[in-house]
């Protein structure tokens, strides 16, 4: 088990906070966590598998119901389910792009923006998301960090009076955390 550690924190002029966190996403005490989902919202491995193992089978059942109603979710699509036994109230399932599928940066930005829009629609104040698509989907981690940090900061900057006050970019492995920390330092200053 990795102890939760905030390795970087940046406050926007309106007071919202973007944090780089090393820790277990399934242990984040926020209003919603973001699951890096696939088009079938099948939560077998990686972050998605850990979410269902810790949060309970109802998360997969609700995901299956969403897919049965809406069909497979293309990159950029988001869905929301209850948090099950996790400390968060909701899970926002964001489908990121597979590297090599074309227009990956825009698709990733769309998934991140979609997750933030879903959180805003549900009037959530805090959200925690992993490095979407940078695992088995093969999105380069440095580019992932750049796209995600740019998308989050641009989104929050245009919603100073919105409900979202904290966005954690949370990953368990030190390699990914360090890449996000370095990109945050480059983007926001030390």
Q: How many domains does the chain have?
A: 1
Query: Interior CA angle at 61 toward 93 and 83, to 5°?
Result: 50
For residue range 134-181, what is the model confidence (pLDDT) as tens digits? 998 999 999 999 999 999 999 999 998 899 999 999 999 999 999 999
Helix axes 174-188, 141-157, angle to 10 degrees: 50
Of 146, 153, 148, nearest to 112 by C-alpha is 148
Q: Where are the alpha helices (DSSP H) in 32-103?
A: 46-55, 57-70
The DSSP line for 158-169 is T-TTSS--EEEE
**CA gap 48, 135 in Å, rounded:** 11
Give the range of the structural domain holding residue 154, as residue numbers without chain letter: 5-188
pTM: 0.95
For residue range 52-84, what is the model confidence (pLDDT) as tens digits? 999 999 999 999 999 999 999 999 999 999 999
Specify the CATH number for the domain of residue 115. 3.40.220.10
């Amino acid at each position: 088990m990795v102890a939760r550690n905030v390795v970087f924190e940046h406050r926007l002029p309106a007071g919202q906070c973007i944090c780089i966190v090393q820790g277990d996403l399934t242990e984040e005490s926020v209003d919603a966590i973001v699951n890096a989902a696939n088009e079938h919202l099948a939560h077998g491995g990686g972050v998605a598998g850990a979410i269902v193992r810790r949060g309970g089978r109802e998360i997969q059942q609700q995901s299956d119901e969403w897919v049965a109603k809406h069909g497979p979710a293309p990159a950029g699509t988001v869905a929301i389910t209850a948090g099950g036994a996790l400390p968060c109230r909701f899970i926002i399932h964001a489908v990121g792009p597979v590297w090599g599928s074309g227009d990956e940066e825009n698709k990733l930005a769309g998934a991140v923006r979609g997750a933030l829009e879903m959180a805003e629609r549900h009037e959530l104040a805090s959200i925690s998301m992993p490095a979407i698509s940078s695992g088995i989907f093969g999105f380069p981690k440095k580019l992932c960090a750049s796209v995600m940090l740019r998308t989050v900061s641009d989104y929050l900057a245009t919603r100073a009076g919105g409900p979202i006050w904290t966005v954690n970019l949370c990953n368990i492995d030190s390699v990914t955390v360090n890449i996000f920390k370095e990109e945050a330092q480059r983007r926001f200053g030390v």
